[in-house]
Structure 1
Amino acid sequence: MVAERAGTSIATVSLVVNGKDRGRVSQPIADRVRDAVDALGYVVDHAASSLARGTGDLVVLIAPDLSNPFFAEVIRGVRDTLGDRYQLVLSVTERGAQPTAADLRRFERLRPAGILVDAPAAGEPMDASVPVVLLDAPDAAEGTTAVDYDLAPGIDALVAHLRDRGHRHVAYLDGTARVATFGIRHRMFDEACAAAGITVSEVGARADLTVDAAALATEHVVEAWHEDGVTAVVAAADTLAYGVLRVAGSMGLRVPEDLAVAGFDDLPSSSVTAPALTSVALPGAELGRTAALRLLATVDGTAVEPVDLPARLVPRASTGA
């Protein structure tokens, strides 16, 4: 009916309604198709189309927190790589929850072209009947396609930076999320500190990845850190480090003179905190781009060159840089 009203073919209508008309359909014809769609109230049934083809033109990205600027960078990398070939659908889990196998199954039923899962919950079986690529999942099961950071360069540089500034006893503020990458960051930091002759305080703290939660956790342990001789705090994420900075400011602690602070992610706001935050930069856009390339290669049955995603240290005023 749409094709008849627009005076064109069904194939042309399909290109227009699925957003694939750029460079293939002239603007006047595309406008006629859209006018016919509006007049007839036509809605594309992607689920039915997927069933007919055996696969869809959607790529789903499941992430734990799309409001975090880090995930915005990941999304940009995915979107720029997919281009017009696939439509990107974003799904956010309940706040604080890492993507699970149940989340994967929910979207598998739509038969998308593929699914990207960012920071999945540790120990979850992330296999499906459609191609799946995991992002930031260092404990992924053997045979699973995953794209991960090389954390060692950034962590080693951070520890060397702290050692060179005279820090010999430090604390670590961890995240509570059930995700493998946080456990690995903590373990690698402890190992690098041991190799550099730096001790990590047994006075530990954990918090949800919000500034308020991090500030509350810090308030409970900051006096104990002081009594333990801690001179620097490293947080598992920049949002946690912001909470430490807030508490330090409210207590009159000078950063970095009384307490140095560092984090992970290098969010855009980390360059404008007071003082600016030292952070281990994790390239979110590159993570998204690499994952999308892996997914496209899986769909097309082609090989893809391995890509290194090394973390790097961005030293700033919060550690006296």
Structure 2
Amino acid sequence: METSSRRQPTLDEVAARAGVSRAAASRVINNVPHVSAAKRAAVEEAVRELGYVPNNTARALASRRTGTVVLAVSSDEPGLFADPFFAEVTVGVSSFLEQTDLELVLLLANTARGKERLRRLLSSHRADGVMLMALRGDDPLGRLAEQTELPVVFGGLPMAGTPRWYVDPDNRGGGRLAAEHLVGRGRRRIAMITGQPDLQAAVARAQGFREALTLAGLSPAGVEAGHFTQTGGEAAMERLLAEQPDLDAVFAASDGMALGAMRALRRHGRRVPEDVAVVGFDDLAGALYSDPPLTTVHQPVRALGHEMARSLVAAVEGEDPNPLILPTRLVVRESAP
């Protein structure tokens, strides 16, 4: 009689007895991977000692997982996945998911059809979670993310609001590093080539750049948009040279734009770095092999993808991962020694 009326132990009590988090205890009980052998053994022992009986409803929910996660990119660039940045992010995502049983689906959601495909996928729960990249302004993908019950991790902050889970480079700090370096090298007529004005990364890099110039008592010699492409950077440099022919430095908010800027400078007979110092942002492979090699702000692009996937897997398994800002650093090469 006493035994039948005895209160059943809870999952929290199992976790406390095992010395692990509630999420870790749940993963062991539901036979979900990504748990260390030591934690698994501790939870199993606590279950035996306490006589814990798993909740069948919770186990049924866990068993309905699809085994698939989505990397959705909102961009209208035709050569998106040939872009070294997105290629590195994808490699980072894949490298983490290789440690799991989850499959990765890449979805280019830049068209109305692509967005509708993602909406159907989210509403039908045909994935366990989603990573979103390159959201601009009032992007409908952001609203879809708010409406779904699935875990969503943002790669980079959106323009409006702060999502629950995100991974972002320190774009603002990186912009400051670029400006501080050029000022420290004695440059005083420093221009900037920005990315798209409706991308938070572009806004933050420009903000950091302006802050550092203001602290040095300077104003930008000129600001032009290059839209994160080489051709855009080249065209922006042409406009800057027409408006400010005596500029002595330029910060381009991506390596691609910096390479385009150097092409325009060569065409006008400007030597880099003797006449015009150039700093980029990314530190992708092309920066090392440009002519001259590019001084640039390093952002850990592959780590961005890796940490997005890590956060998503944690959220899928019932944890509440902390948002993460990845550090940036300056890599000095011959374009602005």
Label 1:142 to 1:267 Cα distance change in 2 as closer, same or farther (>3 A).
Answer: closer
* Residue 205 of structure 2 is aligned to residue 185 of structure 1: yes
How many corresponding residue pairs? 264
Work out the CA distance in 2 between the residues paired with 1:71 and 1:248: 27
Q: Cα distance, 1:67 vs. partner?
A: 1.6
Aligned structure 1 segments of 4 or more residues deviating by more than 6 angstroms: none
Partner of 1:39: none
Q: Is the 8 A contact 1:66 1:92 kept in 2?
A: no
164-173 or 136-145, larger mean C-alpha shift: 136-145
* Residue 264 of structure 2 is aligned to residue 247 of structure 1: yes
Q: Could you list the per-position Cα deviations for residues 225-251 of structure 1 after superposition, in whole angstroms to 9, with x for gaps in the alignment? A: 21xx32111111111111101111112
Q: Is the 8 A contact 1:135 1:148 kept in 2?
A: yes
Partner of 1:279: 296
Q: Once superposed, what is the RMSD of the aligned Cα atoms? A: 2.6
Match of 1:88 among 104, 107, 123: 104
Q: Cα distance, 1:142 vs. partner?
A: 3.9
* 1:316 maps to amino acid: R
Match of 1:218 among 232, 237, 240: 237
Q: Could you list the per-position Cα deviations for residues 179-233 of structure 1 after superposition, in whole angstroms to 9, with x for gaps in the alignment? A: 11111111121011111223212x321123321232223223312121xx32111
213-222 or 65-74, larger mean C-alpha shift: 213-222
Label 1:244 to 1:60 Cα distance change in 2 as closer, same or farther (>3 A).
Answer: same
Label 1:265 to 1:107 Cα distance change in 2 as closer, same or farther (>3 A).
Answer: farther
Q: Is the 8 A contact 1:193 1:199 kept in 2?
A: yes
143-152 or 285-294, larger mean C-alpha shift: 143-152
Partner of 2:50: none
Partner of 2:119: 105
Work out the CA distance in 2 between the residues paired with 1:279 and 1:56: 41
Label 1:276 to 1:143 Cα distance change in 2 as closer, same or farther (>3 A).
Answer: closer
Work out the CA distance in 1 between the residues paired with 2:163 and 2:198: 22
* 2:236 maps to amino acid: A
Q: Which residues of 2 match residues 1-321 of structure 1 at below 5 A?
A: 55-63=65-73, 64=75, 65-83=80-98, 84-94=100-110, 104-109=118-123, 111=125, 112-124=127-139, 125=143, 126-127=145-146, 128-137=148-157, 139=159, 141-176=161-196, 178-201=198-221, 203-226=222-245, 229-304=246-321, 307-319=324-336, 321=337
TM-score by length of 1: 0.74
Q: Is the 8 A contact 1:138 1:148 kept in 2?
A: no
Q: Cα distance, 1:91 vs. partner?
A: 2.1
Partner of 1:6: none
Label 1:206 to 1:106 Cα distance change in 2 as closer, same or farther (>3 A).
Answer: farther
Q: Is the 8 A contact 1:58 1:89 kept in 2?
A: yes
Q: Is the 8 A contact 2:71 2:105 kept in 1?
A: yes
Q: Could you list the per-position Cα deviations for residues 123-180 of structure 1 after superposition, in whole angstroms to 9, with x for gaps in the alignment? A: 4433223111001115452453111122354333322211121112211111236311
Label 1:115 to 1:305 Cα distance change in 2 as closer, same or farther (>3 A).
Answer: closer
* 1:146 maps to amino acid: Y
Partner of 1:13: none
Q: Is the 8 A contact 1:155 1:188 kept in 2?
A: yes
* 2:136 maps to amino acid: A
Work out the CA distance in 2 between the residues paired with 1:236 and 1:106: 35
Q: Cα distance, 1:306 vs. partner?
A: 6.0
Label 1:59 to 1:69 Cα distance change in 2 as closer, same or farther (>3 A).
Answer: same
Q: Is the 8 A contact 2:167 2:323 kept in 1?
A: no
Q: Is the 8 A contact 2:295 2:332 kept in 1?
A: yes
